[in-house]
Structures are given as C-alpha cells and as structure tokens.
C-alpha cells in the first residue's frame, strides 16, 4: 500500500524566542505567588542553601587535596593520618548535603508541576474552552499530551538547570579565587626584550580555554533547538494517531481498516525516526568538540603549572589543587554548553505548554468579539421557562445558518423541533446551552445548573456506574435504592446490582442502553429544563414513547424541548416546530395544524 498521502504535519524549526521564555516565566512563576508562595519559597531557599553547602564541601575537598599531597610529598605520616580522618568527615557532610538536595529538588519539581497542571486543566476546561477550541479549529495538537507530559519536561529540567546554574556561579567564584591566590603570577623571559609578568595567569588560561570551547559548542549546537521541537511534534502526532485507533477500534475492525491504519502509523513513525536522526547527526557534530576539549581539561592546568613547579614556586599539593580548581572552573564556564540539549528540550516543551495558554486566551477574545445574543442579550428566567426570540444564528464568518421568530416553552410544556439532517438542530441546542457565540436575538433561560442537555451520543465518564448516574454532579448524594429504581423505570433494572462496578461503561453498554441510562440520569437529577437532542434515536418508536411518557410523568413541572429528524407522534407534545431548509440556511417555523393532525 502506498503511503504517499500520509504525512505528519510539519513543525517549525524554531529557535529560542525570548518572548516565549518570558511568557512561560510569568505563567509558571505564579507558583511563587498566591496561596502556594510559602511552600514554593521554602523549597527554593532550602534547595539553594543545600547547594551552597555542597559547594563549600567541594571547596573543602579541594583544600584537603593540597594538604594531603603536601604531607605525602614530605612523607609526614602524622599529617597524612589526620588528612584521612578529615576526609571521612568531608564525605559524610557531602552525603548529608546530597540527601537534602535530592529531597528539596524532587519535592519542588513535583509540587511545581502539579500546580501548573492544575492551572492548565482549569484554563482548558473552564468556560467550555476545550469545546470552543475544538470546534474553532484553534486547539493546539495533542492538548492532553501537552498537559500530561510537556508540563513535566517544562519543569523538571528547569529545576535541574537552575541547580546547575547556581552551582556554576558559586563554584566559578570559589575556584577562580583559588586559581588567583594559589597560582599567582608568572614571569616570562623574553630574552633581549626583557621579561613580562602576567598576573593571575591561571585564571586567564581557564577563562580563555572555557570561552573558546563554549563558543564553538554554541555555534555548532544552535540548530538543536529546532530539531528537538520538530521531533516532539512528530511524536505527539504519532501518539494521537494511535489514540484515535483505540477510540474507534470497533469502526476500524468492522471496516477491516487495520492495514490502512498501519500504513498511517508507519508513515508517522518514519517522520519521528527522521527527526530523531537529525538530532543524532547534530549530537555527532557536537561530539567532535566535546571529545576534543574534554580530555584536555585535566592536562592543560598541569602543563601551565609545570614551569612554576619545576622552579620550586609551587608544591605538588598546590599543583593538584590548581588542577582540581581548573576543572571546576571549566565545568562552571561550560554549563550552558553541556546543558544545551536540555535547554532545547525544555524550551520545546515550554513552548508547547504556552500554546495551550495562548490558545485559551485567544478563544476568550474571539468569544467576546462575537455577537453573542447582541440584540437582547441572555436573561435569567424567573421560572423554568425557555424563550429564544427574533434570533439569527451565524457561523464564524458571519454567514447565516438558522433564524426564526420564536422558540418558547413554558413550565410543564413539551415542545418538539423536527428537521432534516444538517438543518441546524444541533446548532440550535448549542445556542440554548450558550456554546454558540455567533447569535443575535434574546434568550431567556434558567440558570445552567437547572438545565440538562442529553445529546444523541450520551457521554459516560470513567469510573463506576453510580458515577455515570451522578454525572455531572459527583456530590449529588442520591441513595442507591433511588438509583436502582430509576434504572428499573427506564428498562435497565438488571444493572441495579452493578452500581459500584468500575468499567468502560461507554463500551459495555449498547447505544440504546446508553440512551436509556441518560433518561435515568434525568430522573435522578430532576432538572427544571430538559433538552433532548435526538436522544432516543437508537430505540424503536414504542420505547421512545414509553420513555417520554415516563419522563413527563416523573417531571411534571419541567420544561422539555426535544429535537429529532422526524415529526413526533401526536399526543406527546404540546407544540411542534419544524426547520425548513432554504438556499440561505434554515428557518424555524410552527408546524401547521394539518401537518400536526397527520403526524403519526
């Protein structure tokens, strides 16, 4: 099978953008403000203290090197014995500080990530943004992966990078001072031209060596950020493709589409492999520099200290101390270089996290700009009445989709709206629920907590059957006897003994059973307004009539609006409206008396 038309969407080869870094800092930095600031600052300052103590222990070990090797050179047994004892104390101290670093670092990483995930989930689900992002086409690809995984890669490496940076700065200051004081100056004999004295020459050598090596690494490694971003994007699409197969497993199996899906996955993963190999090649280029400069680091200070050691200006202990300090300074200077790939990984994930934040902000702006019920606005109903008057519904570009003079239903009244496929029934439901932004007219509705909408494909959350009946209010607190009674009333009495069973109920139950369960949910919650969007289409007509009659008898004061493709049978609705298609859209009109009389 050819796979020429299967291709993972491309990702931009972006470079570090200071605006993205600043935006992420402002968003994620909120952990150090508000209610979590005490916890955040306690962990941060505790970690910083442990890091400073760690550097102090390393400096102590550096001085110990000089003390030990000088005693060894003098063959001073007493000094060497004391040094061995002190060495044990230093190691114990370093181990204790290391435990403190691990505990504070990992706790900070976990708490910070949890804070960010909570804020992202709230922003994504709040004000129905997840829905508006989806229907508008502005949702970033794979938002679930960005929230679950990219938050980790945008926080954990950043804490580690911050640790490394602090150690680099403190270590550089401490060990440069050792190079300065122990190395001193060096005098070069220039023959007839005289002599020249270079002060703090070991510091200059360390800085020059670090600048050259780091500069080369930054120059060669600059494209790595873009390569990492493209790879992450490709992996996200590969995971998304597999998730879609799992969610549509039955459809794929019934249509024998496994080979087609395999071809899609193969092409997507080929893209992942190609982008990984681009990173591998870039790592190969960087390795030329790291493998060339790395082995030279411990040798260079010995070469430059050798003349003063031979002349007797330095002892063996001082030479080893200078060599160790030189290595520590190189580690500090090369911190950015050594962590360039991690900076690239962090930036790619931080950008993906901010894509969700930016998309949510953008959809808020679009919703505010749209003409949402611009003429009359949305007003709370004094009772459970529903009224949508003089309305016109448009798409995102302003093209009219549906209009009408009035859709109204009084308390205790049942109204049916019929219309062919694609005439706008689902759009009308979205308007009544407040999900459709482009509407002109006046809407009167009770508070959303008193309204329950049942779509054609009834949603069942993860968890127990009891949780599915409680949805969307987990604190409902209805007794099990009442839950079983409601199931019995809709023809699902056999499920009464399985209330606590946890299963994928959306897969266990058939479409008809799921629609019956949705009616049971209405009987349990007893809302003031019920909107049924083709909610019984999987059942035969006698079953539909029986469930509607049950709903009407159990909720006599509720306002019920049902929508379906066919006209409803006479005797079950107080009024019927019909959506009539035209070249410019569809109009909502009352069904004529003759048509109502002939409805079967």
Comparing C-alpha atoms, which of 474, 555, 545 is closest to residue 520? 555
Report field, pTM of the whole predicted structure over 0.85: no
Q: Using one digit for the tens of pLDDT, what is the confidence trace for 302-319?
A: 888 888 888 888 888 888
For the chain, the average pLDDT equals 82
Say whether pLDDT at 474 is over 90.
Answer: no
**pLDDT band at residue 28 under the 50/70/90 scheme:** very high
Taking residues 569-586, report their average pLDDT. Answer: 78
Give the containing element (helix H, strand E) for 466: helix 465-470
Phi-psi region of 33 (alpha: psi -120 to 50; beta: other; left: phi over 0): beta
> In whole angstroms, what is the distance from residue 568 CA to residue 545 CA?
9
Residue 374: its pLDDT value, please? 44
Residue 95: its pLDDT value, please? 92
> In whole angstroms, what is the distance from residue 112 CA to residue 27 CA?
12
Give the number of C-alpha atoms closer than 13 A to the C-alpha of residue 506, restricted to the C-beta side.
Answer: 11
Say whether pLDDT at 375 is over 60.
Answer: no
The CATH class for the domain spanning 377-598 reads: alpha beta
Give the number of C-alpha atoms closer than 13 A to the C-alpha of residue 404, restricted to the C-beta side.
Answer: 25
CATH annotation of 18-368? 1.20.1560.10
**pLDDT band at residue 376 under the 50/70/90 scheme:** very low
Q: 190-194, 238-242, 355-359, 397-401: which has the minimum mean pLDDT?
A: 190-194
SS3 278: helix
Say whether pLDDT at 490 is over 90.
Answer: yes
Residue 337: its pLDDT value, please? 67
Say whether pLDDT at 580 is over 80.
Answer: yes
Say whether pLDDT at 593 is over 50.
Answer: no
SS3 113: helix
Taking residues 53-69, report their average pLDDT. Answer: 86
Say whether pLDDT at 549 is over 70.
Answer: yes
Radius of gyration of the chain from its Cα atoms, rounded to whole angstroms:
35
Express as a percent the part of the chain with pLDDT over 90: 20
What residues does each domain of the chain span?
18-368, 377-598
Reduced to 3 DSSP states, what percent helix, strand and coil does the chain have, rounded to the nearest 5?
A: 65, 15, 20
Residue 597: its pLDDT value, please? 37
> In whole angstroms, what is the distance from residue 344 CA to residue 228 CA?
6
**pLDDT band at residue 97 under the 50/70/90 scheme:** very high
Contact call for residues 24 and 78 (beta carbons, < 8 A): no
Q: Using one digit for the tens of pLDDT, what is the confidence trace for 212-260?
A: 877 777 777 777 767 877 787 788 788 888 888 887 786 788 778 888 8
Q: Could you tell me the strand order of the sheet in which 529-533 lies? A: 377-380, 439-445, 386-394, 400-409, 585-590, 575-582, 414-419, 559-564, 529-533, 451-454
Give the containing element (helix H, strand E) for 440: strand 439-445
> In whole angstroms, what is the distance from residue 229 CA to residue 226 CA?
5
> In whole angstroms, what is the distance from residue 240 CA to residue 243 CA?
5
Contact call for residues 579 and 418 (beta carbons, < 8 A): yes
Most confident of 43-57, 263-277, 448-462: 43-57
**Over 543-584, what HEC string results?**
HHHHHHHHHHHHCCCCEEEEEECCCCCCCCCCEEEEEEEECC
């Amino acid at each position: 099978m050819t796979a020429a038309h299967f291709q993972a969407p491309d990702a931009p080869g972006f470079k570090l953008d200071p605006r993205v870094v600043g935006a992420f800092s402002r968003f994620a930095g909120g952990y150090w403000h508000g209610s979590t600031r005490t916890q955040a600052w306690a962990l941060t300052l505790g970690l910083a203290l442990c890091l400073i103590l760690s550097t102090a222990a390393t400096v102590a070990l550096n001085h110990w090197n000089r003390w030990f090797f000088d005693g060894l050179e003098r063959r001073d047994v007493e000094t060497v014995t004391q040094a061995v004892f002190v060495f044990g104390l230093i190691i114990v101290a370093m181990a204790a500080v290391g435990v403190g670093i691990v505990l504070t670092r990992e706790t900070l990483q976990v708490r910070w990530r949890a804070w960010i995930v909570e804020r992202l989930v709230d922003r994504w689900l709040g004000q129905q943004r997840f829905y508006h992002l989806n229907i508008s086409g502005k949702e970033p690809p794979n938002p679930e992966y960005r929230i679950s995984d990219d938050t980790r890669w945008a926080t954990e490496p950043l804490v580690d990078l911050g640790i490394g940076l602090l150690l680099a700065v403190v270590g550089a200051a401490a060990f440069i001072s050792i190079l300065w004081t122990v190395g001193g100056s060096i005098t070069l004999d220039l023959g007839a031209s005289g002599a020249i004295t270079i002060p703090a020459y070991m510091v200059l050598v360390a800085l020059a060596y670090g600048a050259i090596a780091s500069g080369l690494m930054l120059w060669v490694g600059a494209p790595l950020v873009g390569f990492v971003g493209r790879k992450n994007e490709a992996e996200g699409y590969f995971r998304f493709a597999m998730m879609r197969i799992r969610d549509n497993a039955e459809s794929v199996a019934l249509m024998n589409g496994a080979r087609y899906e395999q071809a899609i996955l193969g092409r997507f993963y080929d893209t992942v492999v190609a982008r990984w190999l681009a990173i591998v090649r870039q790592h190969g280029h960087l390795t030329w520099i790291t493998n060339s400069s790395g082995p030279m680091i411990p040798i260079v200070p010995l070469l430059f200290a050798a003349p003063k050691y031979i002349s007797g200006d330095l002892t063996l202990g001082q030479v080893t101390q200078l060599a160790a300090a030189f290595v520590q300074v190189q580690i500090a200077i090369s911190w950015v270089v050594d962590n360039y790939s991690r900076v690239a990984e962090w930036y790619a994930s931080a950008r993906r996290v901010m894509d969700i934040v930016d998309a949510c902000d953008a959809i808020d702006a679009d919703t505010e700009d749209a003409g949402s019920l611009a003429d009359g606005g949305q007003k709370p109903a004094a009772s459970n009445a529903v009224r949508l008057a003089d309305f016109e519904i448009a798409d995102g570009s302003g093209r009219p989709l549906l209009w009408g003079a009035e859709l109204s239903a009084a308390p205790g009244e049942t109204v049916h709206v019929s219309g062919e496929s694609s005439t706008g029934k689902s759009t009308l439901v979205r308007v009544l629920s407040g999900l459709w932004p482009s509407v002109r007219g006046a809407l009167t509705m009770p508070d959303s907590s008193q309204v329950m909408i049942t779509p054609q494909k009834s949603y069942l959350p993860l968890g127990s059957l009891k949780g599915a009946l409680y949805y969307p209010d987990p604190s409902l607190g209805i007794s099990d006897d009442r839950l079983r009674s409601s199931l019995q009333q809709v023809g699902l009495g056999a499920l009464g003994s399985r209330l606590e069973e946890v299963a994928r109920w959306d897969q266990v139950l058939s479409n008809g059973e799921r629609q019956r369960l949705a009616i049971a949910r209405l009987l349990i919650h007893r809302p003031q307004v019920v909107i049924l969007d083709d909610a019984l289409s999987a059942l035969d007509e006698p079953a539909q009539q029986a469930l509607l009659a049950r709903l009407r008898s159990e909720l006599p004061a509720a306002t019920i609006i049902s929508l379906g493709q066919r006209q409803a049978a006479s005797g079950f609705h107080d009024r019927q409206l019909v959506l009539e298609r035209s070249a410019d859209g569809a109009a909502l009109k009352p069904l004529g008396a003759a048509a109502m009389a002939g409805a079967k």
